[in-house]
Amino acid sequence: MKAWAIVTVALLMSGCANHPLDCATGLIAWDDCLPGTKGYVIRQESLKNLAAAEGQKANSDDAECQSFGAQPGTDTYVNCRIQLKKIASDQQTESAAQKQRAAQAFIMNMQQQQNLQNQQTQQTLQNLQQQKPAIQPQINCTSTKFGQTVNTSCH
């Protein structure tokens, strides 16, 4: 138990002021994770990957504009790069909108399925109530007399 407490305190102290456990474990790589924490390492790797992807996109856009005959430094080249950025931005916006529409459609579908199940359950209950036969209890009683006493038993 004592060892567990020491490990917990060490983890809390090894991270950042605002996110000690997240930074120490790398659960969330916050911007302010201190060097030496797992969160810092993960954040730095993420930034390197992002920079590499942006560099590849820039090289691709450069090659595409030059393939159209636009030379770097000219207005045509600058306009080509601007158009490619706009197209990429529009595609991201459309992709986000498509994801949102898909999520909304999924939620609506789930709600419709739930409503259908509720209706089917209600219909089944109504059918069972209509089919339930009226129970008419049959009572048979027998009386026996012993002198002035009468015993009656019913079943």
- Domain segments of the chain as ranges: 11-67, 68-121
Kindly tell me if the per-residue pLDDT of 48 is higher than 90: yes
Q: Mean of the pLDDT values across residues 36-42?
A: 90
pLDDT score at 66: 92
Report the chain's mean pLDDT, rounded to a whole number: 84
Task: Report angle CA 40, 44, 49 to the nearest 5 degrees.
Answer: 150
**pLDDT category of residue 130 using cuts at 50, 70 and 90:** confident
* DSSP 3-state percent helix, strand, coil across the chain (nearest 5): 70, 10, 25
At what angle are helices 38-67 and 75-131 packed, to 10 degrees? 120
Q: Please give the Cα distance from 28 to 44 (Å, whole number).
A: 13
Per cent of the chain over pLDDT 70 is 85
pLDDT (0 to 100) of residue 15: 43
Distance, in Å, from the CA atom of 49 to the CA atom of 120, rounded to the nearest integer, reads 52
Comparing 16 with 26, the larger pLDDT belongs to 26
Gap between the Cα atoms of 15 and 10, Å rounded: 9
pLDDT at residue 75 in the model:
93
Element (H, E) at 144: strand 141-146
Strand partners of residue 150:
145
* pLDDT at site 150: 81
Taking the C-alpha atoms of residue 95 and residue 89, their distance in angstroms, rounded to an integer, is 10
The DSSP output letter for 18 is S
pTM of full prediction above 0.85:
no
